[in-house]
Chain A
Amino acid sequence: MKVILRHPERREVAIEGRRRVGELLRELGLQPEAYLVIRGNRLLTRDAQLEDTDTVEIRPVISGGATRQER
């Protein structure tokens, strides 16, 4: 399958073999809380099955910034 990654730069990688979304994230060492997995325009849950022919995007959701909040 083709996997589009965006951390920190956008790149595409090929991964062989079908597997579930949770397995893919685990194998890539990615925190499930910090990413969305998108196939087409649909969001996928951890148990969704990915096929060899799929293209999926793993999109980071965490953004940084100042930790202090004052008035």
Chain B
Amino acid sequence: MRCTKCRSQEACLEVRRHNAAYCEGCFLDFFRDQVVRAIEHEKMFRRDDRVLVAVSGGKDSLALWDVLLDLGYEAAGLYIGLGIPGYSEPSREKCEAFARAHDARLIVVDLAEEYGLGIAETAQRTARAPCSACGLSKRYLFNKVALDHGYRVVATGHNLDDEAATLLGNLLHWQTGYLARQAPVLPEDDGLVKKVKPLYRLAERETAAYAVLRGIDYIVDECPMSRGAKSLLYKDLLNQLEAVSPGTKQSFLFGFLEKARPLFHEREAVELHPCERCGQPTTTPLCAFCRLREEVARPRRPRGRRHRRPASAPPGPPAPRPAERPVIPLIPVET
């Protein structure tokens, strides 16, 4: 297959929703163009803004950090240690190695050491699913660390698949509050820094391809806490649609952003005030992060008095889906 742009090189990646296939050089140009388009069209930040990139050691966040540095932005990384055994340590090492190789600033915050909120333990001691506790803690720290270090913009590596899966989940449960706040840009508000998603125009497969082509050493293994997460199911369903009808994910998300989100936005205005304990903005007397810390610190109830998730969280891996079962014999290779 030839590159549909330069027509001289062999293609390395198809982008079916654009009816295109690109060689390495043309794909990297396409990727940068999509990021620039997102930044400029959505007015995410200006050329002289300092940007704090939330990095996890995964493909999306390191690809984002890489492309912003490559485009000439002053971008520092923020890594949050989540205390996930066997996963957090190698993730942090990937971020540190990337920062060293690019001579970039990396801020490291350890959730377990500094706040007593390692995700595995938090999930065990509260009724929250690990991904929920993780998301809540990260959102809190993104804002707090950005303010503490003088950054007005936090960039996250959410891609088109992430956003489409989130949209599907929010629609299935008619989460109108979340629908109102799902956008590539969440503007600066009283005590809240601006949050932006410069990769929202790019599919997950494209951010992975960018990371491979740019030689970024990222953590390929999935977070063990996310096994069985609903987001994986939603992504799988959307990819089934995408396979039959390329462009479905993009039209689903972009159509929502253009046509439907403003309707939710008008009806879901909220008032923020400082948390009574930490001072971070919240809609309740105590912010969700302080409530989580309180819940984790609370003495545990005796077992059996309340129905909750087994203490052996995280949940195990999901049963293989029929579509993933090999239909040809697989012979293990001696290594």
Contacts and interface: CB of A to CB of B under 8 A. Distances in A.
A27 B204 contact: no
Interface in A25-49: 27-36, 38, 41-48
A43 B178 contact: no
B8 to A, nearest CB: 16
Interface residues of A, number: 42
Contacts of B178: 68-70
Contacts of A61: 59, 204-205, 207-208
Contacts of A29: 322-327
Given A45-B13, A71-B192, A66 B132 contact: yes
Question: How would you classify the secondary structure of chain B's contact residues: helix, strand, loop or mixed?
Answer: helix
Contact-residue bracket for chain B: 35 or more
Scoring B327, B330, B335 by chain A CB atoms within 10 A of each residue's CB, the highest score goes to B330
B14 A46 contact: yes
Interface in B10-33: 11-14, 21, 24
A31 B323 CA distance: 8
B266 to A, nearest CB: 17
Nearest to A62: B235
Contacts of B297: none
B243 interface: yes
Contacts of B1: 45-48
B104 interface: no
Contacts of B60: 63
Interface in A51-71: 59-71
A37 B333 CA distance: 19
A14 B223 CA distance: 27
B205 A69 contact: no
A67 B230 contact: yes
Contact of B135 (A34, A42, A44, A65): A65
B181 A62 contact: no
A32 B232 contact: no
A60 B236 CA distance: 12
Interface stretch (B64-72, B163-171, B251-259): B163-171
B12 A45 contact: yes
Nearest to A7: B324
A34 B12 contact: no
B269 interface: no
A64 to B, nearest CB: 3
Nearest to B325: A29
B212 A28 contact: no
B170 A13 contact: no
Given A70-B139, A70-B181, A60 B222 contact: yes
A65 B131 contact: yes
Nearest to B13: A43
B231 A45 contact: no
B195 interface: yes
Contacts of B169: 67-68
Nearest to A34: B239
A34 to B, nearest CB: 6
Contacts of A63: 58-60, 204, 222-223, 226
A36 B332 contact: no
B23 to A, nearest CB: 10
Interface of A: 2, 6-8, 10-15, 27-36, 38, 41-48, 59-71
What 4 A-B pairs are tightest by C-beta distance, nearest first? A66-B135, A64-B226, A64-B229, A61-B208
